[in-house]
């Protein structure tokens, strides 16, 4: 009976770990930068720079690849999407225009599609006979 409970508990722990680490990765890459850059012509950009968003994307890619290759493809897609969604909501919810909801919605859709595709590909490669095995 303990063996049957071990797998759901492990799935839950991996899922919670992925949500937490994804939110921490957001905070590390994007959470500290809240200032818009004002240019000489009066236009504004930001608050994020391209390198910050790329760093976030690569960090999430590593998390998804790790989880999917460890046999947690569903958690890889859903938990990282949940972590990014919660972090985006928390970071952007002080916007008085209400447009932050559109941005959060786009984060949900984009991250779910991207992480699902990556998790499916990694899981499929992992299941293929001979891939990643030396035969020893």
Q: What is the pTM of this model?
A: 0.84
Res. 1 pLDDT band, cuts 50 70 90: very low
Res. 39 pLDDT band, cuts 50 70 90: confident
Res. 131 pLDDT band, cuts 50 70 90: low
Q: Would you tell me how many other CB atoms lie within 10 Å of the CB of residue 89? A: 15
Cβ–Cβ under 8 Å, residues 47 and 77: no
- Residue 40: its pLDDT value, please? 83
DSSP code of residue 35 = P
- Cβ-proximal residues to 66 (8 Å cutoff; 6+ apart), any chain: 76
* Nearest Cα residue to 67 out of 123, 105, 109, 23: 123
pLDDT digits (tens, 9 = 90+) for 44-83: 777 888 999 999 999 999 999 999 999 999 999 999 999 9
Percent of the chain at pLDDT exceeding 90: 65
């Amino acid at each position: 009976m303990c063996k049957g409970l071990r797998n759901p508990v492990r799935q839950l722990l991996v899922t919670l770990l992925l949500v937490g680490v994804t939110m921490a990765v957001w905070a590390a890459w994007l959470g500290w930068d809240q200032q818009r850059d004002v240019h000489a012509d009066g236009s504004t950009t930001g608050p994020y720079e391209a390198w910050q968003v790329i760093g976030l994307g690569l960090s999430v890619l590593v998390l998804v690849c790790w989880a999917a290759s460890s046999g947690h493809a569903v958690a890889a897609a859903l938990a990282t999407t949940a972590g990014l969604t919660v972090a985006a909501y928390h970071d952007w919810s002080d916007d008085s225009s209400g447009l932050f909801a559109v941005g959060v919605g786009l984060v949900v859709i984009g991250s779910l599609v991207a992480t699902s595709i990556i998790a499916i590909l990694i899981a499929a490669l992992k299941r293929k006979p001979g891939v990643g095995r030396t035969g020893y």
